A and B are shown apart, each in its own frame.
Chain A
Amino acid sequence: MRYATPKTAAEAASLLMEDAARVLAGGTDLLVQMKSGRLAPETIVDIKHLPGLRDITREDGGFRIGAAVSGAEMGEHTDLVAAWPGVVEGVNLIGSTQVQGRATMAGNLCNGSPAADGVPAQIAAGAVARLEGPEGTRDVPVAEIPTGPGKTSLKRGEFVTSIFLPARPERSGDAYLRFIPRTEMDIAVAGAAVNLVLGADGTVAEARVALGAVAPTAMEVPEAGAALTGSKLEDPAIEAMVDAVRAACKPIDDKRGTVEFRTHVAGVLAKRAARIAFARAGGQA
């Protein structure tokens, strides 16, 4: 085994082309998988020394969040929390205080867990991941990164260097909620993120709804967003949104939640997250 600290993206991509090479950012998934024997990397590529990977920078009115920025650092960034409270609250739900000191939003995405708390709000936000690889740089919507449990669309040698959250228009708000049977330190049984932009008249002009833990990947439900558009979250619009959410659920049945329970709870969470996002956008019912 070898531990490498590349100083350029090209060097990192070249190391990642080797057999059994793995990216190390926060390490809160990688080291657990190494400990369990699920992964036995030959080369550990620590990307934290690459330029910009630990920075949150303003760009085109939005935020570029380096792939090695920890959840705790995101939570301490006042402007980021004000602009994207739902994205930050999703990331901040991952693990304990200790895990927050290391875990990254990009790592949560690339780990490919269907229940990743950091992912649905990114999808609802229209976040875009920047990838570096042997063939250079490319930007990919976050929604297209996970392809199944533990699987991503990243090509051999590719890794995420940052995630971009776009500029916020006036009257916008987002929120993420999850259900766990405890109050902390657990894996989502279902999760829902809602991102709203209101028009000048206070009705929903744009809405995106994304779900976690109810399908092989976190996913957007366009029909659910469409159900909210043009409304002030009146009951019929909420009911139509909840119906669309439940229709999109294809969860597993396991000890943490049955298919029926996960489907039901996803609808409840989406409804509550929509109300929080609406209030954050300054909406008046």
Chain B
Amino acid sequence: MKSIPVSTTVNGDAVDFVCAPGETLLDALRNRLSLTGAKEGCGTGDCGACSVTLNGRLVCSCLVLAAEAEGAEVGTVEGMADHDKLHVLQQSFLDHAALQCGICTPGILVASKALLEENPEPTDEEVRYWLAGNLCRCTGYDKIVRAVQDAAAKMRSA
């Protein structure tokens, strides 16, 4: 098995790593770059806990090969806060208690950020459809939708 050198950008920082040919971007982020925000829930693209952006597009990092990140721009939950200052969405999830165990939260935050960049004023239905690929098994979705909508309102008036 041949190792592949990869040069990519993660959260705006140039990053180099070496990976195996069949290794997923999720595994490379977690095990080689110590970015453990993205989680492996299902590993098959159903749960969205591993959501990241790849060249600005929301994807499941478990369904991307690490080698495909060559020359790309990757965005993870670690890139959302500005040092100690949480992103509006992160603060909103805390304010609305939109999480319990928190395993799904990084993926939902990344997915919600991608939604609001594309659609700053979504309806509840649009939020629910956009997040249909992000499964939460403890909190339920009402608080998550409320947190996203509150953050959207704050971001619009900022």
A93 to B63, CA, bound (A): 18
Number of chain A residues whose Cβ lies closer than 8 Å to a Cβ of chain B: 26
A98 at the interface (CB under 8 A from B): yes
Interface string of A166-206 (1 = CB under 8 A from B): 00000000000000000111000000000000000000000
B129 → A minimal CB distance (Å) = 6
Give chain B's interface residue range (CB within 8 Å of chain A): 20 to 34
A279 to B125, CA, bound (A): 25
Assess A1 versus B21: contact at CB under 8 Å? Given A99-B133, A101-B57: yes
Check if B44 sits within 8 Å of A36, measured CB to CB: yes
Can you list 30 pairs linking A and B with CB atoms under 8 Å apart? A1-B20, A1-B22, A2-B21, A3-B67, A27-B63, A27-B65, A28-B63, A31-B45, A31-B64, A31-B65, A32-B44, A44-B65, A70-B57, A95-B45, A96-B132, A96-B133, A97-B111, A97-B114, A97-B115, A97-B129, A97-B130, A97-B132, A98-B48, A98-B60, A101-B57, A101-B59, A102-B57, A102-B64, A183-B132, A184-B132
Known: A1-B20, A35-B44, A44-B21. 16 other contacts (CB 8 A): A2-B21, A3-B21, A27-B63, A27-B65, A28-B63, A36-B44, A44-B22, A46-B65, A48-B68, A72-B57, A95-B45, A96-B46, A96-B133, A97-B132, A101-B57, A101-B59
A95 to B60, CA, bound (A): 11
Is chain B's binding surface mostly helix, strand, loop or mixed? mixed
